C-alpha cells in the first residue's frame, strides 16, 4: 500500500534536513572537524602540507611518484588530511612523553582512533626550506589561544627518511609563554649548526581546555 507523507509537517522537514546534511558530510568529508581547530601551516605540518598540495586532486596516481609520503597517507586514511587541524589529545596533564611514545610523535600517540598514524611513517617527506632563524606560524580558526608552545628540532645526524622519530632525537629550541586567543600566531625560532632534512616538532597547549596538539613539520636547512 502506498502511504502519502505530509511533506509540510515539522517532523518530515527535520528528517529531510538531516538526510541532506548527512549527504553533504559524505560528499565533503572535511566539512566537520576541519573548521574547529588548528595546525602549523608554515612550515607546513605533514597532513596540512598533504592537504594543501593534493586536496584538490587527491585521487591522482601521479602522487605516488611525486609525493610518496603523502600518497601513503591518503591511502591509509584520507580523513587525516581533511581533518588537518584535528590532531590533538585531551587531558594530557602536561605528561607529553608519557602520553606520546617514541615512534608515535607525529600522530600524537595514535590519537583520534589512529586517524593520523600515517604521519609517523618514515620516509622522504616533502620539506619547507628554512634558515637558522625562522618563524613557526600557527593557524587556529577557533582562536583557542595557548598556555604555551614548545618547539623542538631534530638533532644534527638524525635522518627522518630512515629513522622513526623519538623524544631523544629532539632538541628544545623555543619555550613560549601564553598567547591570547587569535587565529594567527607566529613564533620566532633560532637554531644553529643544522643542515639538510629535519623535523620541527611543535607542542601547542591550547588554553580553552586541557587539549594538546602534536605537530610534525619537515624542513630543509639550507
* The CATH number of domain 10-221 is 3.40.50.300: no
- Is the CB of residue 97 less than 8 Å from the CB of residue 167? yes
Residues facing residue 129 across a β-bridge: 220
Nearest to 128 by CA among 48, 184, 188, 54: 48
Q: In what order do the strands lie in the sheet with 133-140?
A: 38-42, 133-140, 184-190
Q: DSSP string spanning 170-181?
A: EEEEEE---B-S
**28 C-beta neighbours (distance < 10 Å), count:** 11
Exposed/middle/buried for residue 53 (C-beta within 10 Å: 0-12, 13-18, 19+): middle
Q: Where are the domains of the chain?
A: 10-221
pLDDT class of 207 with cuts at 50, 70, 90: very high
Q: What mean pLDDT comes out for the span 16-35?
A: 38
Percentage of the chain exceeding pLDDT 90: 83
Exposed/middle/buried for residue 71 (C-beta within 10 Å: 0-12, 13-18, 19+): buried
Q: Is the pLDDT of residue 173 over 80?
A: yes
- Is the CB of residue 40 less than 8 Å from the CB of residue 137? yes
Separation between Cα atoms, residue 126 and residue 44, nearest integer Å: 9
If phi > 0 it is left, if psi is from -120 to 50 it is alpha, else beta; for residue 46 that is alpha
Q: Is the entire prediction scored with pTM above 0.75?
A: yes
pLDDT class of 100 with cuts at 50, 70, 90: very high
Q: Which three cell numbers stand for residue 174?
A: 623555543
- Is the CB of residue 125 less than 8 Å from the CB of residue 46? yes
- Is the CB of residue 187 less than 8 Å from the CB of residue 150? no
- Is the CB of residue 198 less than 8 Å from the CB of residue 153? yes
pLDDT at site 36? 61
Q: What mean pLDDT comes out for the span 78-105?
A: 97
Nearest to 140 by CA among 207, 49, 52: 207
Q: Is the pLDDT of residue 111 over 70?
A: yes
Amino acid at each position: 500500500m502506498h502511504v502519502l507523507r505530509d511533506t509540510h509537517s515539522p517532523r518530515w522537514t527535520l528528517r529531510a534536513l538531516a538526510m541532506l546534511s548527512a549527504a553533504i558530510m559524505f560528499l565533503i568529508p572535511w566539512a566537520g572537524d576541519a573548521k574547529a581547530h588548528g595546525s602549523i601551516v608554515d612550515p607546513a605540518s605533514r597532513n596540512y602540507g598533504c592537504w594543501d598540495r593534493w586536496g584538490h586532486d587527491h585521487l591522482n596516481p601521479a602522487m605516488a611518484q611525486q609525493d610518496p609520503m603523502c600518497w601513503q597517507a591518503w591511502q591509509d586514511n584520507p580523513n587525516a588530511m581533511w581533518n588537518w587541524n584535528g590532531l590533538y589529545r585531551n587531558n594530557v596533564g602536561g605528561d607529553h612523553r608519557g602520553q606520546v611514545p617514541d615512534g608515535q610523535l607525529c600522530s600524537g600517540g595514535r590519537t583520534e582512533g589512529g586517524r593520523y598514524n600515517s604521519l609517523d611513517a618514515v620516509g622522504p617527506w616533502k620539506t619547507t626550506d628554512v634558515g637558522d632563524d625562522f618563524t613557526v606560524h600557527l593557524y587556529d580558526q577557533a582562536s583557542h589561544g595557548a598556555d604555551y608552545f614548545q618547539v623542538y628540532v631534530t638533532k644534527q645526524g638524525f635522518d627522518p627518511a630512515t629513522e622513526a622519530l623519538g623524544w631523544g632525537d629532539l632538541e628544545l629550541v623555543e619555550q613560549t609563554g601564553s598567547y591570547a586567543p587569535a587565529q594567527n600566531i607566529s613564533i620566532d625560532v633560532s637554531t644553529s649548526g643544522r643542515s639538510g632534512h629535519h623535523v620541527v616538532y611543535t607542542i601547542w597547549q591550547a588554553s580553552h581546555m586541557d587539549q594538546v596538539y602534536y605537530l610534525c613539520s619537515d624542513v630543509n636547512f639550507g
